[in-house]
């Protein structure tokens, strides 16, 4: 038995008898520092103030968050280190496991009832494992993927018992580092030996990002034959099918996944989106409503779910008229959205437009007009721009609400900011055929492409000239501004001149309008950090 006297324990369970008896067991194991909580919310707040070494969390707490939700929030909020041991205590383990997301698994499950011998055996083993993995876990805490790889290599050499675990950490690190060829090789080799669920999902994901959709589909379909109870596989296959234009099949798959595991905000949101695309407004309403309700107590709360719900409810209008009950439902949804995101200007604009669209169908033209005008007035002073997807939705709403001019302006902005993405240009082309909008970015785009080519060939000076020229033509384009900034920093090296730094900072100031959910946000922050230092 190990020494537990210096370990900090947290017990979370809604049964006070159980907490007391577990605490007594831990004391018999020598534990001195044992805190207790009866709700997930309390557990989160305790973890904000104290670093626990071992958390024993009941899965099903009755009211409030369940154990899985708490674990996800702890990991995403970085409230616990990777070195912390998280044990999920369950009455029945299989249910909890189905509901757990693969990327946020607890270190172990412990099924009630358990005796002291089981608890002690389990904890001893987990401490031993975490100690062996320490170099990897510390590197993970520092988000140092290269160090993770190095630590994995040396540990799996030392002790083959940890080799399977190391492979999983290795795969994660290779993905972070963008070393995709190596990642594909690792996963394919692993899967040739055995159908390992996590590796199937990782390979499917990878193949999809590499554009190899039929291969990705094959991987998922094969895996689902062996593991029909794995919601993550349904998510993956649905994404591939939807990318291949098979929206209806994708929706059916997600409906199944939601039946298996309904407590997943992102899955419900994805289902809502697909159902909207398929004009299945009933399913879309149900999915978005679940996402909104679960989001109230979660870090995965997202304004898109409120907007999606509004759109799905509006879609249920019959013969162009919306019944009172639906309108009432929409009014409540919009009102909660506006209150929840009162500081988000982009959300405020979108809420008003979505509300106005529904009011038109209810026959309240006056109120619809008032809200539309409010939205247009606010468009001018947005601190951060919409995502490309949101911008296109807003432009289309504006057009339907009779604001063609505002719609065109918005599309023009969208081209300038996101025009280097062919998918965005395709979406815009669906809404307009105005050459002044569609053709406005072509020259800059070509310059940007030449810049990327030069940069890849190591000709950083030439790349900079191309990027500068591109940015001069499209001064708000995020990619071009980021590329220019990166080239400047690259050329400047360690001792960048003040003039160069100033130009770089000016570029990055342009990119301030980028929404935080943009995939390039992390790159922007890194460059900002380099150009501005610690601010």
Partner 1 sequence: MSDERSGLEFSTVIASTVHDMKNSLALLIQTHNQWLPQLPPELLHSREHGIIEYEFARLNGMLVQLLGLYKLGINQLPLRPAYHELEDFIQAQLARHQEVLESRHITARCEVAEFGLMGFFDQELLASVVANIITNSIRYARQDLLVRAWEEQGVLVLAICDDGEGYPEAMLAEQSDYVLSLNHSTGSTGLGLYFAGRIAALHGRNGVCGHIEIRNGAPLGGGEFRIYLP
| Residues of the shown chain interacting with partner 1 in the complex, contacts defined by CB under 8 A | 17-18, 20-21, 24, 91-94, 97-98, 109, 111-115, 117-118, 120-122, 125, 159-161, 164-165, 194-197, 226-230
Closer residue to partner 1 (CB): 287 or 398: 287
Closer residue to partner 1 (CB): 25 or 391: 25
Of the candidates 19, 149, 138, the one whose C-alpha atom is nearest the C-alpha of residue 84 is 138
Minimum CB separation of residue 120 from partner 1 in Å reads 7
Closer residue to partner 1 (CB): 213 or 263: 263
Closer residue to partner 1 (CB): 96 or 379: 96
Q: Please report which helix (H) or strand (E) contains residue 57, including its range.
A: strand 54-58
Q: Please report which helix (H) or strand (E) contains residue 33, including its range.
A: strand 33-37
CA–CA dist 20, 11 (Å, integer): 9
Minimum CB separation of residue 436 from partner 1 in Å reads 53
Quick count: other Cβ atoms within 10 Å of Cβ 348?
A: 19
Closer residue to partner 1 (CB): 17 or 534: 17
Whether the CA torsion 126, 132, 133, 139 is positive or negative: it is positive
Minimum CB separation of residue 283 from partner 1 in Å reads 14
Class of residue 312 by CB neighbours under 10 A (exposed 0-12, middle 13-18, buried 19+):
buried
- Spatial contact of 415 and 436, defined as CB atoms under 8 Å apart: no
Closer residue to partner 1 (CB): 118 or 335: 118
Structural tokens at position 336 = 């909660």
Closer residue to partner 1 (CB): 168 or 378: 168
Minimum CB separation of residue 21 from partner 1 in Å reads 5
Residues in the chain: 535
Of the candidates 230, 233, 170, 229, the one whose C-alpha atom is nearest the C-alpha of residue 204 is 233
Closer residue to partner 1 (CB): 68 or 413: 68
Whether the CA torsion 403, 406, 409, 411 is positive or negative: it is negative
Q: What are the two backbone dihedrals, phi and then psi, of residue 455, each rounded to the nearest 5 degrees?
A: -60, -45
Structural tokens at position 88 = 């999920």
Structural tokens at position 405 = 């001019």
Contacts of 70 (CB under 8 A, 6+ apart): 12, 40, 43, 44, 57
Alpha helices (H) along 342-441: 345-362, 365-379, 388-400, 404-418, 422-431, 435-438
CA–CA dist 366, 260 (Å, integer): 45
Contacts of 240 (CB under 8 A, 6+ apart): 204, 208, 213, 216, 217, 220
Minimum CB separation of residue 118 from partner 1 in Å reads 5
Closer residue to partner 1 (CB): 255 or 420: 255
Minimum CB separation of residue 530 from partner 1 in Å reads 41
Closer residue to partner 1 (CB): 135 or 197: 197
Angstrom CA distances, 148 to 20, 130, 133, 187, 191, stand at 39, 14, 10, 17, 22
Minimum CB separation of residue 130 from partner 1 in Å reads 14
Site of tokens 């384009």: 477
Structural tokens at position 225 = 């034959």
CA–CA dist 363, 263 (Å, integer): 37
Of the candidates 11, 14, 50, the one whose C-alpha atom is nearest the C-alpha of residue 34 is 11
Closer residue to partner 1 (CB): 51 or 161: 161
Minimum CB separation of residue 16 from partner 1 in Å reads 12
Minimum CB separation of residue 96 from partner 1 in Å reads 10
Minimum CB separation of residue 125 from partner 1 in Å reads 5
Minimum CB separation of residue 114 from partner 1 in Å reads 7
Minimum CB separation of residue 1 from partner 1 in Å reads 12
Closer residue to partner 1 (CB): 89 or 139: 89
Q: What are the two backbone dihedrals, phi and then psi, of residue 401, each rounded to the nearest 5 degrees?
A: -90, 15
What's the maximum distance between 2 C-alpha atoms anywhere in the chain? 77
Closer residue to partner 1 (CB): 117 or 318: 117
Closer residue to partner 1 (CB): 96 or 174: 96
Please report the DSSP string for 418-484 in residue order: HTT-HHHHHHHHHH---HHHHTTTHHHHHHHHHHHHHHHTT-HHHHHHHHHHHHHHSTT-HHHHHHH
Minimum CB separation of residue 150 from partner 1 in Å reads 22
Minimum CB separation of residue 136 from partner 1 in Å reads 16
């Amino acid at each position: 038995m190990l020494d537990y006297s210096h370990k900090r324990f947290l017990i979370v369970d809604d049964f006070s008898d159980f907490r007391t008896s577990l605490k007594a067991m831990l004391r018999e194991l020598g534990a001195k520092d044992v805190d207790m909580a009866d709700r997930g919310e309390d557990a989160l707040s305790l973890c904000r103030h104290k670093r626990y070494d071992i958390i024993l969390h009941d899965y099903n707490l009755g009211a409030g968050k369940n154990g899985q939700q708490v674990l996800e929030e702890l990991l995403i909020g970085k409230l616990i280190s990777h070195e912390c041991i998280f044990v999920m205590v369950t009455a029945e383990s299989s249910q909890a496991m189905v509901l757990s997301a693969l990327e946020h698994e607890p270190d172990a499950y412990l099924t009630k009832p358990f005796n002291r011998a089981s608890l002690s055996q389990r904890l001893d083993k987990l401490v031993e494992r975490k100690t062996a993995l320490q170099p990897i876990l510390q590197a993970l805490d520092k988000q140092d993927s290269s160090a993770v790889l190095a630590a994995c290599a040396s540990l799996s050499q030392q002790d083959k018992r940890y080799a399977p675990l190391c492979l999983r950490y290795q795969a994660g690190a290779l993905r972070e580092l963008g070393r995709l060829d190596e990642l594909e090789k690792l996963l394919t080799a692993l899967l040739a030996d055995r159908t390992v669920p996590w590796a199937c999902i990782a390979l499917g994901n990878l193949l999809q990002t590499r554009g190899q959709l039929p291969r990705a589909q094959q991987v998922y379909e094969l895996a689902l034959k062996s593991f029909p109870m794995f919601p993550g596989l349904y998510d993956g296959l649905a994404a591939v099918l939807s990318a291949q234009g098979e929206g209806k099949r994708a929706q059916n798959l997600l409906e199944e996944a939601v039946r298996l595991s309904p407590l997943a905000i992102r899955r419900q949101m994805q289902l809502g989106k697909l159902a909207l695309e398929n004009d299945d407004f009933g399913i879309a309403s149900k999915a978005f409503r679940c996402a909104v309700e679960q989001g109230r107590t979660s870090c995965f709360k997202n304004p898109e779910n409120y907007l999606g719900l509004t759109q799905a409810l509006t879609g249920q209008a019959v013969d162009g008229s919306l019944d009172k009950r639906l309108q009432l439902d929409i009014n409540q949804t919009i009102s909660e959205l506006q209150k929840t995101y009162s500081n988000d200007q982009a959300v405020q604009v979108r809420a008003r437009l979505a509300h106005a669209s529904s009011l038109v169908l209810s026959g309240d033209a006056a109120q619809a007009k008032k809200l539309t005008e409010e939205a247009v007035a606010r468009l001018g002073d947005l601190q951060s721009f919409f995502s490309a997807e949101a911008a296109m939705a807003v432009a289309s709403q504006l057009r339907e609400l009779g604001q063609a001019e505002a719609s065109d302006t918005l599309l023009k902005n969208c081209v300038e900011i996101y025009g280097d993405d062919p998918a965005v240009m395709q979406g815009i082309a669906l809404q307009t055929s105005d050459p002044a909008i569609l053709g406005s970015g072509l020259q800059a785009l070509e310059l940007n492409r030449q810049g990327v080519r030069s940069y890849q060939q190591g000709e950083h000076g030439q790349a900079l000239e191309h990027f500068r020229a591109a940015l001069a033509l499209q001064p708000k384009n995020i990619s071009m501004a980021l590329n220019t900034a990166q080239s400047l920093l690259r050329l400047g090296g360690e001792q960048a001149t003040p003039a160069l730094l100033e130009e770089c900072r000016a570029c990055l100031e342009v990119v301030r309008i980028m929404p935080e959910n943009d995939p390039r946000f992390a790159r922007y922050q890194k460059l900002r950090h380099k150009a501005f230092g610690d601010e």
